[in-house]
Amino acid sequence: MRTLIRYILLTISITVLFPRKVAEACGFWVYPGEYRFWLMQPDITNEPDLTPFYFATSYLYKGNQYAGEQPQLEQNINEWYENVNHKALRDDIDSLLNATPPEEFFSEQESLSKQNSLMRYLLQPKQKELYQYLLLSKKVEQIAANPDPWDEQNSPKQSIDNIISDLKKLRGTTANSFIKLRTAFQLMRLYNYNAQSKEAERIYDAWVAPVNTKSWVKTAALYQIALNYAGAQGNYLRSKVFDIGGYNRTMCLVRFDSKSTDEALKLARNQHERNVLAAMKLFNSPGRGLDVIKQIYVSEPRYKELPFLLLREINKVEDWLLTNRITSFQTPAVYGEGYHWYNYDYLDNAKINYRNDQAYAQELSSFLHIMIANSMGQQKAVLHLYAAHIDMLNKDYLSSAVHLKEASLQGHLPQNIKTQIVINRYLLSLENGFNKNDENEFMAIIKTPDQKLAIYDPGIMKNQLILYTARKLINKGSKARGLLLLSKTNRAFGQLPIRAYKTVYQEIEETANEEDFLIMLKIFDKKNKSLFERFVCEKKIHSPMDNYGWYEDSTALKWDRNKLLNCLASWYLRQHRLKDAHSILKKIPAGFFKQYPYNQYIGGNPFYLNVYRAHTVTNEDKQSLNQAQVVEQMLHLEALAKKDESKTAECYYQSGNAWYNMSYYGKNWLMVKQWWSINEPETWTAILKKNAFNDDYYGCQYAKWYYEKAIKASNDKKLTALCFFMAKRCEANYQYYIKLVRGQEDVRHDYSPDYTLAKKKGIDRDYYKLIVEECETYQSFIRKYNKGF
């Protein structure tokens, strides 16, 4: 029992004491990779073996340390191909070495000898040693796959010792340098599995280090030595492997211990080695790295990783300057050093951070200009491209255009650079608007088959480009086309408190006005659509859910003209334009309102309101109206209020109820807003803004206006007291929302009665007191005025 009490207290204290923003981090969470914004390909320097380090973040790109290419596989095939004097097919070499598991190799010798040219070659009597080597290497492969099958963690193991003995025998008898080097490497691996690292080093020193070869095996052997060292020594050895290249460079970076960099630098024997170590540290840093790059550049201007390091800086700047401008996420995806995935502290200094990031982008541009002046050859094209991109981010479009032209003038450009030039040319043009020509350029990129673009993530690039273009159109006055285009990106551009990604419908709700709606509808209805229009009107609405295999297409969002009409009707309601809303709702078939979510979140009697159970439809409601019927009845009440003075006050009271029911607190909130959360608006204060809609929605101001009109028109003391009570209630909701907007802490609804004001306004104190204090009386009052007109 005591444990239970302790647990309850702990839970309560965590809930109460945890900062609100940390609490938000639980549950639905958008992975930074889903909204990080970039338009410069992360692979432009063509280093596919470093894919996990494509972006500077506190996590690996693709979340997978094995996402990069393994160049040693291809090199190994080539070395074997040469060694067998081209007597076996490359594909067969690949198949036997890389796609034949040891079990299959040992059990399927006969069929392999029939199917595989390498196997046939090896089975010739003259190739006995090479065959013996392959046999033993397959055994090593088996050990590597499961070094300790009984999970005993003891060594040395007999099974490993046996292979060591056979490998040594083979090495002792063969004169083939190809076999000698490889047996030494396999011996090193086995000694490592047997926890005999000193033996592995001895083999390296004696049989590998002295060999003059360009084979990947020598680098791989050095990597085996590095595996046994942590800290500075490990870093130093890994830096050697990283620098040689061709083998496990990603893992060299993954295993790099940044904290030990200074110690490792002491082991470096020259400036180049120091530069490699500094670069490896920078590869592991999500923060600003230009100072380190400059230092490397000063001492070694041609250091081969400089272009990639610079590219990562550009990608960082894109994230810092664009992510929270292009999406509604408030912070960059990754900011600063360390594991700041949530970037909680970014917002404390958002403006200063942004200014500093702009300054950093300028600094990066200046440095690139210096590098360009001293560069040559293909590096020049890349650097011009970088400068074009960063200058565009810095809004120096003239300089950007000049560099882009320079980049395109360089000879022998790889396809991925050509693709980026096309993209940047389009982006520059987009700054001047989205004319027919831009539209064509944009569609040409989008419709180019992924393979032809020759970039690592063509799908993401296209989706980023769609998002960017859509945002530009929205911001530059072509909102309708921008919003339609937004439906075609599967990048996350916002999240909702209801544990979901923001979709284009919510963006439309937040952004579109009457004109935009009408243009959108016109485009939908157009008979001869342009390629762009056909594209944006395609039925499927894309979202990050596209990337989740379990998410069924049948449940995915689709363009629905009725839904769009409904959004327009909601917009009219938010503007208090009942007649316009009604004329639109009339165009929607009744069946539309019978489907989810309208059938669940709109209903009951909109003119009946029990303020203590405002979200619930009860038997007291006596009727249930859909969205079109609600508006029709509201119009009827308006007309009646004007026509029949005896009913004016009651009509206004019921209208007040209808508008209250369309607020955050009521049962028909869906008529004006697409989502609702129990924690709203408290949890989302950061995005809560004071505006006319929120005044009505969170502050119930329009409902209050009607209650006050009812008070003025009423001769009925009971009704006046009830309307005063409701107006006061609306005011309390308004004050609560305003305090949240101002960022006040510990805000509570103040529903306490105000007898002084009541007296001043001539409200019957007794009735008011009864309504406030007696639940039964309140209910009898609301029942009394729940009648149809």
Work out whether 110 is an interface residue with another protein (CB under 8 A): no
Which one, 143 or 317, has the nearer CB to another protein? 143
CA triple 776-780-784, angle to 5 deg: 170
Q: Taking contact as CB under 8 A, which single stretch among the options 101-109, 391-399, 536-544, 733-741 is the one that binds another protein?
A: 101-109
The dihedrals phi and psi of 644, each to the nearest 5 degrees, come to -120, 100
> In terms of CB distance, is 142 or 661 closer to another protein?
142
Cβ closer to another protein: 157 or 704? 157
Which residues in 113-142 contact another protein (CB under 8 A)? 139, 142
Q: Is residue 149 part of the contact set for another protein (CB under 8 A)? A: yes
String marking each residue 504-543 x if it binds another protein according to CB under 8 A: ----------------------------------------
600 in contact with another protein (CB under 8 A) = no
Q: Does 3 bind another protein (CB under 8 A)?
A: no
479 binds another protein, rule: CB under 8 A = no
Among 40, 134, 163, 568, binds another protein (CB under 8 A): 163
In whole angstroms, the minimum distance from the beta carbon of 139 to another protein comes to 5
Residue 104 as a binder of another protein (CB under 8 A): the answer is no
> Is residue 189 within the footprint of another protein (CB under 8 A)?
no
**Region of 153-161, 455-463, 465-473, 516-524 interacting with another protein (CB under 8 A):** 153-161
CB of 119 to another protein, least distance (A): 17
Three-class HEC string of 34-61: HHCCCCCCCCCCCCHHHHHHCCCCCCCH
- How far is residue 394's CA from residue 364's CA, in Å, rounded to a whole number? 10
Nearest to 464 by CA among 32, 34, 38: 38
Is 159 a binding residue for another protein by CB under 8 A? The answer is yes
Q: How far is the CB of 80 from another protein (least distance, A)?
A: 22
**Is residue 107 at the binding interface for another protein, with CB under 8 A as the rule?**
yes
Contact call for residue 154 and another protein (CB under 8 A): yes
Contact between 388 and 403 under an 8 Å Cβ cutoff? The reply is: yes
CA distance 533 to 535: 5
Q: Verify binding: residue 102, another protein, rule CB under 8 A.
A: yes
Tell me how far, at minimum, the Cβ of 200 lies from another protein, in Å.
19
How many Cα atoms are found within 13 Å in the side-chain-facing hemisphere of 287? 10
Give, as one character, the DSSP assignment of residue 435.
-
**Got the DSSP string for 299-359?**
H-TT-TTHHHHHHHHHHHHHHHHHHHHHSS-SS-SS-SSSS-SS-GGGGGGHHHHHHHHHH
Smallest gap from Cβ 106 to another protein, in A, equals 4
Radius of gyration of the chain (CA): 35
Nearest alpha carbon to residue 544 among 475, 447, 464: 464
Instruction: Count the residues of the shown chain that bind another protein, applying the rule CB under 8 A.
Output: 16
CA distance 89 to 100: 15
Work out whether 554 is an interface residue with another protein (CB under 8 A). Answer: no
Cα distances from 431 to residues 400, 444, 476, 763, in angstroms, run: 12, 18, 9, 61
Establish how many alpha carbons lie within 13 A of residue 339's alpha carbon, considering only the half-sphere containing its beta carbon. 2
Q: Is 187 in the site for another protein (CB under 8 A)?
A: no
For another protein, give the closer residue by CB, 150 or 548.
Answer: 150
Minimum Å gap between C-beta 160 and another protein is: 9
Among 86, 99, 151, 348, binds another protein (CB under 8 A): 151
HEC states along 237-257?
HHHHHHHHCCCCHHHHHHCCC
Contact residues for 598 (Cβ-Cβ < 8 A; gap 6+): 566, 592, 626, 627, 670
Residues near another protein (CB under 8 A) = 102-103, 106-107, 139, 142-143, 146, 149-154, 159, 163
